[in-house]
Amino acid sequence: MQPMQRLTLELPPEFIAVCAVDGVTPELVLRGFIADLAGIMNWANAPRADGYGSNGSDERRMAREYYERVGYPYLHRQP
């Protein structure tokens, strides 16, 4: 397993507003999407210390579909 990487990211106010309206933190939303896309499981009997955990099998599938539909695997690939 590779070590965690820290990223500093400025979040647009529109994203902050969406989260605020729904009463969730931006961190929770981003961690959930990352976990779904990466297929990170957070089992109750062996919880992850970093707080990442998928929201379910449908969410993992939809995150992957979004990622592929946007074209990240091929259109936005870094050299």
**Among all chains, which residue has been given the structure tokens 């919880």?**
47
To the question of pTM greater than 0.85 for the whole model, the response is: yes
CB-count burial class (<10 Å; 0-12, 13-18, 19+) for 31: middle
Q: In this prediction, what percent of the chain has a pLDDT beyond 90?
A: 72
Task: Inform me whether the pLDDT recorded for 78 exceeds 80.
Answer: no
Contact 9, 3 (CB under 8 A): no
Contact 33, 56 (CB under 8 A): no
Q: Sorting pLDDT into bands at 50, 70 and 90, what band is 56?
A: very high
Name the token pair of 41.
């499981």
- Asked which of 33-37, 45-49, 52-56, 64-68 is least confident by mean pLDDT, the reply is 45-49
**Among all chains, which residue has been given the structure tokens 């929770």?**
28
